[in-house]
Amino acid sequence: MSLLFQTLVIFLFAMNLPAQSETLLANVEHRQKQSLNGQWKIIIDPYETGYYNYRYQPRTDGYFENRKPKDKSELVEYNFDTSEELTVPGDWNTQKEKLFLYEGTIWYKKSFQYKKKTNTHAFLYFDAVNYEAIVYVNGKKLGEHVGGFTPFNFEATNELIDGENFVVVKVDNNRKREGVPTLNTDWWNYGGITRDVYLINVPQTFIKDYFLQLKKNSLTEISGWIQLEGKEKLQEIKIEIPEVKKSIQVKTNENGFAGIHFSADLTLWSSENPKTYTTKIISQTDSLEDKIGFRSIETRGSEIFINGKSIFLRGISIHEEAPFGGGRANSEKDADTLLGWAKQLGCNFVRLAHYPHNEKMIRKAEKLGLLVWAEIPVYWTILWDNKDVFANAENQLTEMITRDKNRTPIIIWSVANETPVGEARYNFLHHLIKTAKKLDPTRLITAATEIHSDKNKIT
């Protein structure tokens, strides 16, 4: 008896007020930054002897200290200076044959020059590390991050010095039952610092985040918000769209927040005409520039409407796999190839399965006019009743939306894929949907559900 496998997609429209991420910097592409990409020294550590002592307690003198012998009589049992190297960004599996199947810990170390600046903050930004990362600068711990496909940053202002500095990252890609994703998936578990790394400098009071989009039920009114971070939170902010000669001013409150609302005569972004506008946000202490498109998205019954017109989604799913030679895709060329193939197939839509893809893919889709389904890896057999698992999933959702909410092609946030139906799963996803609605009131929210059918019987 044959079974027909189907994926059922349920669309929910988000309509609540926005909320901001507490830590993540928005629009890193257009900020002042120093790339830390390139060759990094590594130490492979399957027993984690660089982190734990023989009683399995965290060491105070781990590999993160990057110690050197004081003289010939002192033995230090590791040495980054003479160790192997890996390229960042990149997975370790395809860079060295012996690491192809490796799941465990590898220590990464990078030395770099830095000039201390007054009245600035410095942030160490990772676009993604799979799966767990502990980050140190000059031997001092900055923080930890869990989740292999979303960006994170830590402030390093006080840890950096004039001259030579070093950053050490403990990377662990072990799959875990309580992970997001969990033990079993249908993609390769690439380990490493798989995306770009930057050192970002911002003023003492800086533009941390912003959100601009068409107001619901309007094709001419723009609404959104701006969030400042720092000591001088009360400021005048100017928003400019030079091409349509639009300039407005708003004032932030004591929390650094300002709402935005204005009208503009715009050419709307669409698959046929992916128009974007150079948009400038200028405060008294900082400025940012972005390329933003404006389009509406809504559902009426079973139909989806873009800019008030019904649209049929013709698309494919794409994994973040390098198109030639294997490995994790991360380059502009990879994005050109993967999304170029979708265009050649006649697609107007891509599902970036089953985790947040790198920002180059999103921005390339924006230029090509490809609509995007973006999702987090709440996948198959998640532990629905585990509070830590939910917190992990919610954090990944928050980081994805924080990074990509101003990217026009994304019309759908997905909170799960092919998960078994049940009350615990329902509660888990219900709370993720609430979070997505708070973060972004403009897009559809979806989950892909596994359904099996035998003729007229569906289970």
Kindly report the pTM of this predicted structure: 0.93
Count other Cβ atoms within 10 Å, centred on residue 150: 27
- Whether 14 maps to a domain, the answer reads no
- Whether 15 maps to a domain, the answer reads no
Last residue of a domain, which of 203, 236, 267? 203
Residues 262 and 411 in one domain: no
Last residue of a domain, which of 293, 317, 335? 293
Range of the domain at 244: 215-293
Tell me which residue of 232, 269, 266 sits closest to 252, measured CA to CA. 232
Q: Alpha-carbon distance 420 to 179, whole Å?
A: 17
Q: Which residue shows structure tokens 């609404």?
A: 223
With a cut of 60, say whether residue 7 has pLDDT above it. Answer: no
Residues 411 and 320 in one domain: yes
Residues 380 and 334 in one domain: yes
3-class DSSP state for residue 85?
strand
Task: Kindly indicate the confidence band of residue 218, based on its pLDDT and cuts at 50, 70 and 90.
Answer: very high
**What integer is the mean pLDDT of 180-195?**
96
What's the pLDDT at 456? 65
Residues 409 and 370 in one domain: yes
Residues 253 and 320 in one domain: no
Torsion of the alpha carbons at 146, 257, 306 and 366, rounded to the nearest 10: -60
What's the pLDDT at 216? 87
Quick: pLDDT tens for 60-116. 999 999 999 999 889 999 999 999 999 999 999 999 999 999 999 999 999 999 999
* Amino acid in the structure at residue 397: L
Residues 289 and 307 in one domain: no
Residues 173 and 289 in one domain: no
- Whether 6 maps to a domain, the answer reads no
With a cut of 70, say whether residue 18 has pLDDT above it. Answer: no
Domains: count for the chain = 3
- Whether 386 maps to a domain, the answer reads yes
- Whether 360 maps to a domain, the answer reads yes
CATH of the domain at 226: 2.60.40.10
**What integer is the mean pLDDT of 306-317?**
97
| 332-344 and 359-368 helices, crossing angle to 10° | 40
Residues 289 and 304 in one domain: no
CA angle 36, 37, 40 (to 5 degrees): 90
Residues 286 and 169 in one domain: no
CATH of the domain at 313: 3.20.20.80
What's the pLDDT at 459? 53
- Whether 336 maps to a domain, the answer reads yes
Task: Say if CB 240 and CB 282 are below 8 A apart.
Answer: yes
- Whether 410 maps to a domain, the answer reads yes
Higher pLDDT, 18 or 112: 112
Residues 69 and 51 in one domain: yes
CATH of the domain at 149: 2.60.120.260
Tokens representing 53?
A: 């002592």
Quick: pLDDT tens for 247-288. 999 999 999 999 999 999 999 999 999 999 999 999 999 999
**Residue percentage of the chain with pLDDT more than 70:** 94
Residues 269 and 340 in one domain: no
Residues 234 and 196 in one domain: no
Last residue of a domain, which of 277, 293, 309? 293
